[in-house]
């Protein structure tokens, strides 16, 4: 059976998007528009698994939409919408809650990392969040899912859920098994303060990340303050990898400059990190600041952003309803 490539991915509207979202996800989203049908979703139902102040949430949904467009997504080519506008996501999530197993969810490391020792107080939504993610993807029978490395385990769960559904309801090829598309070189951008933690919106210190909306001055300051190493840049990758913060800086440099990491190490070995930091800040300013400025500009035109979401939701709704009809039939619902 030939299955047409269909791309789906989602980003949570939980505040400032950062360099990790940009290099791990958005850049890839934009590239994929050239070769495939793509659906990109602002996953607001995922965001409310932890409490969101309603006014802020509304603003963050619009800002994430603006970030999609500012990064280069084209609403004429791709379907762009917010998850809660298509009720099929919640409906299929319920059906998949009944397919997915508690044992599978208990293995999800992101849930464990997020709740720490306070599991009893976490929302039920946060626990079953990966089932909703599976519903997002399977609702459209998406075949490819561009994400950062942190989402790999959730994607594997989506595949397990698809497989079990196909087996339970005796329809072997019904849901395609979604393939993760994880960037090869920089799948995980790390915090500028601690190279063992991923760059994240929820990290307390703003110095740990480069936000898409940061000014040139903020970027310069953050890169200057970023942890590196007191020894000069080594001449081989395995020594560099032992210094996670330094490795992260060069990895970002390599990605933004399109210079292969080995070649970069060759060119830079023996130099102090301070010398590299100036060039890295310049690269970030030239590639990130234009995106940030475009986000600010788009945020001034709420009507335009709402129109993109409405048009996108209408297109997504048609596809979702067509698939849901078949899903309900398979399950035996009337």
Q: Which residues bind ligand AMP (CB under 6 A)?
A: 11-12, 20-21, 24-25, 147-148, 150-151, 188-189, 198-199
9 lines the binding site for ligand TRP (CB under 6 A)? yes
Q: Are 222 and 207 in contact (CB under 8 A)?
A: yes
Out of ligand TRP, ligand AMP, none, which partner does residue 251 contact, by CB within 5 to 8 A per kind? none
Tell me if residue 114 is catalytic: yes
Q: Is 201 a catalytic residue?
A: yes
DSSP codes of every residue in 219-260: HHHHHHHS---SSPP-SSHHHHHTSHHHHHHHHHHHHHHT--
> SS3 of 188, please?
coil
Catalytic residue list contains 77: no
Q: What are phi and psi of 15, to 5 degrees?
A: 105, -175
Q: Counting contacts by CB under 6 A, is residue 136 touching ligand TRP?
A: yes
Q: Which of 152, 164, 197, 201 is catalytic?
A: 201
Q: Which of 67, 78, 100, 151 binds ligand TRP (CB under 6 A)?
A: 151
User: Is residue 263 within 8 Å of residue 189, measured between CB atoms?
Assistant: no
Other beta carbons less than 10 A from residue 160's beta carbon = 16
Residue 148 and residue 146: Cα distance in Å, rounded?
Answer: 7
Q: Are 203 and 209 in contact (CB under 8 A)?
A: yes
Catalytic, out of 27, 198, 222, 277? 198
Instruction: Write out 79-109 in H/E/C secondary structure.
Output: EEEEHHHCCHHHHHHHHHHCCCCHHHHCCCH
Pick from ligand TRP, ligand AMP, none: which does 198 bind, CB < 5 to 8 A by kind? ligand AMP
Active site residue: 5, 114, 293, 330, which one?
A: 114
The answer to whether 46 contacts ligand TRP (rule: CB under 6 A) is yes
Angle subtended at Cα 156 by Cα 154 and Cα 159, rounded to the nearest 5 degrees:
115
The minimum distance between CB 145 and ligand TRP, in angstroms, equals: 5
Which of ligand TRP, ligand AMP, none does residue 24 bind to, with CB < 5 to 8 Å depending on kind? ligand AMP
Partner whose footprint covers residue 8, from ligand AMP, ligand TRP, none (CB < 5 to 8 Å by kind): ligand TRP
Which residue, 188 or 220, has its beta carbon nearer to ligand TRP? 188
Give the binding site for ligand TRP (CB under 6 A): 8-10, 12, 43, 46, 133, 136-137, 145, 147, 151, 154
Active site residue ranges: 114, 198, 201
């Amino acid at each position: 059976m030939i299955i047409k490539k269909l791309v789906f991915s989602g980003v949570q509207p939980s505040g400032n998007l950062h360099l990790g979202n940009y290099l791990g996800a958005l850049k890839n989203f934009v590239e994929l528009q050239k070769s495939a049908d793509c659906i990109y979703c602002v996953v607001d139902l995922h965001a409310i698994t932890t409490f969101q102040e309603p006014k802020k949430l509304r603003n963050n949904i619009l800002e994430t939409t603006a970030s999609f467009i500012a990064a280069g997504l084209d609403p004429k080519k791709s379907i762009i919408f917010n998850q809660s506008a298509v009720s099929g996501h919640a409906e299929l999530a319920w059906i998949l809650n009944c397919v997915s197993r508690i044992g599978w969810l208990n293995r999800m490391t992101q849930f464990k990392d997020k709740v720490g020792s306070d599991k009893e107080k976490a929302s039920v939504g946060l626990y079953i969040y990966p089932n909703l993610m599976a519903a997002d993807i399977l609702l459209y029978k998406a075949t490819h899912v561009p994400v950062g490395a942190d989402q790999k385990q959730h994607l594997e769960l989506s595949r397990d859920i698809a497989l079990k559904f196909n087996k339970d309801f005796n329809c072997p090829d019904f849901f395609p098994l979604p393939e993760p598309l994880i960037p090869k070189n920089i799948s995980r951008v790390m915090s500028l303060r601690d190279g063992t933690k991923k760059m994240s919106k929820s990290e307390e210190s703003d110095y740990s990340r480069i936000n898409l909306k940061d000014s040139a001055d903020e970027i310069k300051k953050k890169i200057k303050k970023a942890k590196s190493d007191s020894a000069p840049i080594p001449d081989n990758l395995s020594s560099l990898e032992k210094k996670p913060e330094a490795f992260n800086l060069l990895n970002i440099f390599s990605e933004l400059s399109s210079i292969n990491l080995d070649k970069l190490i060759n060119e830079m070995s023996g130099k102090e990190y301070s010398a590299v930091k100036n060039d890295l800040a310049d690269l970030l300013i030239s590639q990130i600041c234009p995106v940030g400025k475009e986000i600010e500009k788009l945020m001034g035109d709420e009507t335009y952003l709402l129109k993109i979401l409405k048009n996108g939701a209408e297109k997504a709704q048609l596809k979702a309803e067509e698939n849901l009809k078949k899903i309900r039939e398979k399950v035996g619902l009337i």
